[in-house]
Amino acid sequence: MSRECLGFLSPKDNEVFIDATFGAGGHTCAILNTAKCQVYAVDRDPMAVEIAQVLSTRQEYKGRLKPLHGKFSQLLELARTNDIKEDSVHGILLDIGPSSMQLDDPSRGFSVNKEGPLDMRMNNKNDSENKRNSAFTAADVVNSISEHELMTVLRHYGGEKDAGRISRAIVKAREKHPISTTKQLANIVSNAVGFGRKDKLNRFAHPATKSFQALRILVNDELNELHKALKAAQKLLVPGGRLVVITFHSVEDTIVKHFLRTPPADSISRRPNTGSPKVKPSLSTWLPLHKKVICPSNQEVFFNPRCRSAKLRAAVKTKNAVLNLNQITHLLDKSHEGSLTDGPTLGN
The string of DSSP codes covering 135-158 is ---HHHHHHHS-HHHHHHHHHHHH
**Phi, psi for residue 46 in degrees, rounded to 5:** -55, -30
pTM of the predicted structure, to 2 decimals: 0.82
Question: 24-33, 52-61, 194-203, 248-257 — which is least confidently predicted?
Answer: 194-203
Is the model's pLDDT at 118 over the cut of 60? yes
Residue 247 has pLDDT above 60, yes or no: yes
Task: Provide the sign of the torsion angle of the four alpha carbons 83, 126, 221, 347, taken in this order.
Answer: positive
Arithmetic mean of pLDDT, 126-149: 78
One domain, residues 231 and 94: yes
Q: Which pLDDT score is estimated for 207?
A: 93
Q: Rounded to an integer, what distance in angstroms lies between the CA atom of residue 48 and that of residue 68?
A: 10
Average pLDDT for residues 205-215, to the nearest whole number?
93
- Collapsing DSSP states into helix, strand and coil, what is residue 221? coil
Domain presence at residue 344: no
What's the domain range around 192?
A: 136-220
Same domain, 65 and 160: no
Burial of residue 337 (CB within 10 Å: 0-12, 13-18, 19+) is exposed
279-295 mean pLDDT: 76
> Residue 249 falls within a domain, yes or no?
yes
What pLDDT is stored for residue 277 in this prediction? Answer: 52
Instruction: Provide the pLDDT confidence category of residue 284 given band limits of 50, 70 and 90.
Output: low
Mean pLDDT over 180-196 rounds to 93
- Domain for residue 251, yes or no? yes
CA 127, chain centre distance (Å): 23
Quote the pLDDT of residue 1: 76
If one counts the domains in the chain, the total is: 2
- Banded pLDDT at 299 (limits 50, 70, 90): confident
Q: Is the pLDDT of residue 80 over 50?
A: yes
Position 197 confidence tier, pLDDT thresholds 50, 70, 90 = confident
> Which DSSP string corresponds to 174-195?
HTTS---BHHHHHHHHHHHH-S
Question: How far apart, in whole angstroms, are the C-alpha atoms of residue 199 and residue 81?
Answer: 44
**Percent of the chain predicted with pLDDT > 70:** 80
- Band of residue 333 on the pLDDT scale cut at 50, 70, 90: low
Which is higher by pLDDT, 344 or 224?
224
Q: What is the pLDDT of residue 263?
A: 61
- 230-257 average pLDDT score: 95
Rounded average pLDDT over 30-53? 96
Give domain status of residue 130, yes or no.
no
Q: How many CB atoms lie within 10 A of CB 224?
A: 12
Residues 264 and 318 in one domain: yes
% of the chain surpassing 90 pLDDT? 67
Residue 3: its pLDDT value, please? Answer: 86
Q: Return the pLDDT at 132.
A: 45
Residue 292 clears pLDDT 60, i.e. is over it:
yes
* In a shared domain, residues 209 and 244: no
Across 39-43, 293-297, 321-325, least confident range: 321-325
- Which among 159, 189, 220 is the end of a domain? 220
55: pLDDT strictly greater than 50: yes
Asked whether the predicted pLDDT for residue 298 surpasses 60, the reply is yes
- H or E segment and range at residue 68: strand 65-69
pLDDT at 294 over 70: yes
pLDDT of residue 140: 97
Residue 110 falls inside a structural domain: no
Residues 187 and 159 in one domain: yes
pLDDT score of 13: 97
Among residues 167, 191, 220, which one ends one of the domains?
220
b/e map 187-205, b = 16+ CB within 10 Å: ebbbebbeeeeeeeeeeeb
Phi, psi dihedrals of residue 264, rounded to the nearest 5°: -60, 155
Query: What pLDDT is recorded for position 126?
Result: 57
Mean pLDDT of the chain: 85
Measured distance CA(210)–CA(139) in Å, rounded? 16
Question: Is the domain of 211 the same as that of 227?
Answer: no
Domain at 171, CATH number: 1.10.150.170
Phi then psi dihedrals of residue 88, to 5 deg: -130, -10
